[in-house]
């Protein structure tokens, strides 16, 4: 697997997390703990992308 492929995969995962966060935010009673965990994972992925670039 190449470095660019890794970055692309991470970007796809980052985008997927955006969707999951949006879905959770539209719930009648959003799960704030889940949203927080998703946001933390998103930040970790962003950091990994920056390290690989």
**This prediction's pTM:** 0.83
The tokens describing 11, both together, are 């970007």
As a whole number of angstroms, the distance between CA 2 and CA 53 comes to 12
The arithmetic mean of pLDDT across residues 18-25, rounded, is 96
What mean pLDDT value characterizes the chain? 93
Indicate the domain borders of the chain: 3-52
Distance CA 53, CA 35 (A): 27
CA gap 24, 11 in Å, rounded: 20
Check whether 30 has a pLDDT greater than 70.
yes
The H or E element containing residue 42 is helix 32-52
- For 36, half-sphere exposure in the C-beta direction (CA atoms, 13 angstrom radius) is 3
């Amino acid at each position: 697997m190449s470095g660019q492929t890794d970055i692309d995969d991470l970007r796809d995962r980052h985008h997927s997390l955006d969707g999951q966060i949006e879905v959770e935010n539209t719930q009648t009673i959003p799960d704030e703990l889940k949203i927080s965990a998703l946001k933390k994972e998103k930040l970790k992925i962003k950091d990994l992308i920056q390290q690989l670039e």
